[in-house]
Amino acid sequence: MVDKILVIGSSGQIGTELVEELRKRYGNENVIASDIKEPQVIQHGPFEIVDILNKIQLADIISKYKIKEVYLLAALLSATAEKNPAFAWDLNMNSLFNVLNLAKEGIIKKIFWPSSIAVFGPTTPKINTPQYTIMEPSTVYGISKQTGERWCEYYHKRYGVDIRSVRYPGLIGYKSKPGGGTTDYAVDIFHQAILAKKYECFLSENTTLPMMYMSDAIDATIAIMKTEDSKIKIRSSYNISGISFSPKEIAEEINKLMPDFKISYLPDSRQQIANSWPQTIDDSYAKNDWGWSPKYNLFTITKIMLENLEQLLPKENKY
Ligand code: NAD
Ligand code: SER
């Protein structure tokens, strides 16, 4: 029998695609989607409104569906978190404690919780950033992710909690809207390319950041959760890497398929956040321990994003 899975924060960018993929693999009825807002797309399977900060609501759903595995995706992302640091800390930390404690009590068996490249800061080496290095994050989001990593490792060592985590880079997908991250320009640029053939970027042209196509991120997530327990050597969070590019480079790639697309630059407060993050990531531990390997490059991502958004975005809004 398949263990029942709960995805918390299922209506967001990652949740939308993760729920679809988990249901393909494990069956619609075995994957329960949950969020404080309705799904962005039609999903086939159970959906529940759950506020992760409400322990009673959470316990009720876990018990109702006899949940054994939790994917915790609810969080405020970097740019949104800077607007309300106290709330971001509350949500990003207490959501994690609520789930870790269910595992500590033996009610659930396994947890996936994503960390981020935001755990690194201005003093971290920016090129080929190692798994183990200086980590002095300068955003509340990064501080919450770094602290979360420490607690994950602690719960594993002290209470034997089976927690698995990756440090996602900026993620790019066409199935949902951007969710308030600094890397989300690399999603929005495709929407604006289709809708207006132009994009004003909030980062400067040469700001290189680590990025990844959503399908690669979903593969990494499911792969680390399926890996035999003894092979998961890192219980804080694994570096994973896809590709790295700047706004100028992604615009040049779009121009190859859409020659009249134009980009302009008006950096705002998100520039400072981006400046504090790595440019490229060393993911050799993930490769060695559980066989991580990405598939998508900038050319394939650009083609997939433009082709799919051309079909999906409302025709009346297009240029
Ligand atoms: P998102 O903002 O698109 O989705 C988050 C979802 O959580 C939203 O649907 C939101 O409604 C839900 N949510 C918020 N508060 C909630 C609450 N109290 N209870 C239940 N649900 C709640 O974010 P995402 O891009 O899907 O990111 C998911 C996770 O992955 C986050 O932990 C984020 O930090 C991490 N991550 C994302 C990226 C990225 O590029 N998208 C990169 C690194 C890490
Ligand atoms: N993509 C995320 C953000 O920009 C990084 O975790 O917030």
Residue 90 forms part of a structural domain: yes
Q: How confident is the model at residue 318 (pLDDT cuts 50, 70, 90)?
A: low
Do 272 and 152 have their domain in common?
Answer: no
Ligand 2 centre distance from Cα of residue 12 (Å) = 13
Do 26 and 130 have their domain in common?
Answer: yes
Do 190 and 133 have their domain in common?
Answer: no
Do 117 and 150 have their domain in common?
Answer: yes
Asked whether 119 lines ligand 2 (CB < 6 A), one says no
Residue owning the nearest CA to atom 3 of ligand 2: 181
- What is d(CA 190, CA 254) in angstroms, rounded to the nearest whole number? 8
Does pTM surpass 0.95? yes
Catalytic residue among 141, 168, 199, 213: 141
| Cα–Cα distance list, 278 to 117, 125, 155, 310 (Å) | 7, 7, 28, 32
Do 219 and 96 have their domain in common?
Answer: yes
Q: Taking the CB of residue 290, how many other CB atoms lie within 10 A of it?
A: 21
Q: Which of 168, 307, 154 is nearest to 235 (CA)?
A: 154
- At residue 87's C-alpha, the angle toward residues 106 and 179, to 5°, is 90
Closest ligand 2 atom, residue 145 Cα: 6
Do 52 and 131 have their domain in common?
Answer: yes
Do 134 and 187 have their domain in common?
Answer: no
- What is d(CA 47, CA 38) in angstroms, rounded to the nearest whole number? 8
Residue owning the nearest CA to atom 37 of ligand 1: 168
The ligand that comes nearest to the alpha carbon of residue 148 is 1
Residue range 232-257, pLDDT digits in tens: 999 999 999 999 999 999 999 999 99
Q: Which of 29, 66, 50, 65 is nearest to 98 (CA)?
A: 50
Q: How many CA atoms lie within 13 A of 75 on its CB side?
A: 27
| Predicted pLDDT at 317 | 61
The ligand that comes nearest to the alpha carbon of residue 76 is 1
CB distance 205 to 274 below 8 Å:
no
| Predicted pLDDT at 180 | 85
Do 163 and 182 have their domain in common?
Answer: no
Supply the CATH number for residue 271's domain: 3.90.25
Supply the CATH number for residue 222's domain: 3.40.50.720
Active site residue 141: yes
Do 53 and 200 have their domain in common?
Answer: no
Count up the domains in the chain and report the number: 2
Residue range 192-202, pLDDT digits in tens: 999 999 999 99
Q: Which of 51, 58, 77, 281 to mutate to test ligand 1, by most ligand atoms within 8 A of the CB atom?
A: 77
Handedness of CA 134, 139, 142, 148 (dihedral sign): positive
Range of the domain at 78: 4-170+212-239
Do 254 and 274 have their domain in common?
Answer: yes
Bridge partner list, 110: 69, 162
